[in-house]
Structures are given as structure tokens and as C-alpha cells.
């Protein structure tokens, strides 16, 4: 579900009647990382663009698809910052984002959220168990820091496949602005595409083998023909 509002959670929960996970998204740009302007950061090959717009979020716990690799406090996302500047907040960063910005534990990242600046000091680094389609965020703050910021939300829920059409109908009628996506249907389409691609690879492999056999036969016939011509000359 996309474009969910905070005041819709209870009603959506009542409709779905299954655990729903909500993901707040706050759009922001990185101004500096360790006082280095984003435009001057040279990320490692293959990493993201530091100057683009990023999706920040807030959470109290680590996602099931992630785990903490480094932290100031054992397995804690956030550790209180001992700083005189109250604008500096604890920040949890994904390892790929840390590599992109060339930062590590204790370093600071300055963000611009629609003209409002906020500084995060890295108190934990996370990594993902897998690179599948599960949601993830490069940057996480405490809920008290970003919960009041302008945001959009999306949500996920695991329900029985045969109940999806009915639930989608109810959600559309009650919340026309909320977009619902059937993940099962998308997964089936991807699976069908993979099967088709596998068949194409199989066909092309057979064609390549047949071509090789034809070339081999042609080469043998040519060799035999030259040998025969040589015998006739003798």
C-alpha cells in the first residue's frame, strides 16, 4: 500500500485483520558528510550518487532483514550523543551508504529536509541479510526526531491470496488515495518471465550446439574432399 497517512492506520488494520507494517518516508538531501560537501564526495565504484534525494525513515528496532555490525552500545540502533549542540541526533546508517559517503562510526552527516537542516552522528552501522525486494533505508533516526517531519508512508501485509481482491476493493472504497499493489501477482509475473528467459537460453544453447555440429561436419567434409582430390592427382 502506498500513500498511507498516519491517521489511517487503525482503519486499515481493521480492514486487513492481519499484522501491517508501516514505513514512513522522509525525503532529504545530504548536504555534507564529515564536513565534505556531497558534490565533492567520490563514492567507491558502483555505489550511489551522494547528491541525489534520499529516503530517510525512523524506527525503534532493526528490520528483520537487517542486523547491526557496529554500534556504540551493544546491538543498539541509537546511543545518546554527548554534545552541546542539540541539533546533532543519533543516526543509524546502512553499510552501503557508509561506503558511499566514506563515513564510519562517530562521523556526522548533515541533511536538508525541505529547507530544514538536521545533523546525524553515526552510532550504529547496519547490513542486510539479503538483497531481495524487502524494504530498506540508508538512514534511520529515532521516531522523536522525524515523526513530525513531512512524510509519506507505505505499508506491507501478508494475507491469504484469495482475500486480496476483496481487501483491495475495501481499501479503494474507503481510501481512494491509497494505492494497493498485489505482491503475489507481481511475483508470479516475475516467475513466468524467469521461466520464459530460461527457455530462451535453452533454445539458444541448442542452436549454438547445432551450429557447432554443422561447422564440424562441414569441416570434416571439406577435409575429406581435399584428401580425395589429392588421391586423384596422384
Residues of the chain with pLDDT under 50: none
What pLDDT, on the 0 to 100 scale, is given for residue 144? 92
Q: Is residue 45 in some structural domain?
A: yes
* pLDDT at residue 26, rounded to an integer: 93
CA angle 181, 168, 135 (to 5 degrees): 30
Look over the chain and give the mean of its residue pLDDT values, rounded to a whole number.
Answer: 84
Which pLDDT score is estimated for 38? 93
Boundaries of domain holding 231:
183-234
Q: Model-level pTM?
A: 0.69
151 and 190 belong to one structural domain? no
The pLDDT of residue 133 is 65
Residue count of the chain, please give it: 234
Q: Does one domain contain both 133 and 214?
A: no
Give the pLDDT of residue 153.
86
Q: Is residue 3 part of a domain?
A: no
Residue with cell string 545530504: 30
Give the separation between CA 46 and CA 37, rounded to whole angstroms. 20
- pLDDT at position 228 is 63
On whether residue 131 sits in a domain, the answer given is yes
Q: Is residue 226 part of a domain?
A: yes
Same domain, 38 and 121: yes
Give a yes or no: residue 135 inside a domain.
Answer: yes
Domain count, the chain: 2
Are residues 99 and 210 both part of a single domain? no
Amino acid at each position: 500500500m502506498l500513500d498511507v497517512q498516519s491517521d489511517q492506520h487503525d482503519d486499515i488494520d481493521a480492514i486487513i485483520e492481519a499484522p501491517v507494517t508501516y514505513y514512513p518516508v522522509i525525503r532529504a538531501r545530504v548536504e555534507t558528510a564529515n564536513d565534505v560537501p556531497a558534490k565533492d564526495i567520490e563514492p567507491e565504484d558502483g555505489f550511489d550518487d551522494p547528491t541525489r534525494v534520499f529516503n530517510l525513515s525512523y524506527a525503534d528496532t532493526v528490520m528483520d532483514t537487517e542486523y547491526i555490525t557496529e554500534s556504540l552500545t551493544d546491538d543498539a540502533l541509537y546511543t545518546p550523543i554527548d554534545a552541546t549542540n542539540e541539533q546533532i541526533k543519533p543516526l543509524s546508517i546502512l553499510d552501503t551508504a557508509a561506503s558511499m559517503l566514506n563515513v564510519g562510526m562517530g562521523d556526522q552527516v548533515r541533511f536538508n529536509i525541505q529547507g530544514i537542516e538536521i545533523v546525524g552522528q553515526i552510532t550504529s552501522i547496519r547490513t542486510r541479510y539479503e538483497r531481495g525486494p524487502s524494504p530498506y533505508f540508508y538512514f534511520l533516526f529515532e521516531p522523536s526526531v522525524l515523526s513530525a517531519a513531512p512524510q509519506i508512508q507505505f505499508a506491507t501485509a501478508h494475507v491469504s491470496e484469495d482475500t486480496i481482491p476483496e481487501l483491495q476493493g475495501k481499501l479503494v472504497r474507503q481510501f481512494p488515495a491509497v494505492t494497493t499493489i498485489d505482491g503475489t501477482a507481481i511475483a508470479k509475473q516475475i516467475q513466468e518471465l524467469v521461466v520464459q528467459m530460461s527457455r530462451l537460453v535453452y533454445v539458444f544453447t541448442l542452436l549454438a550446439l547445432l551450429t557447432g555440429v554443422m561447422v564440424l561436419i562441414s569441416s570434416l567434409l571439406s577435409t575429406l574432399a581435399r584428401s580425395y582430390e589429392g588421391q586423384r592427382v596422384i
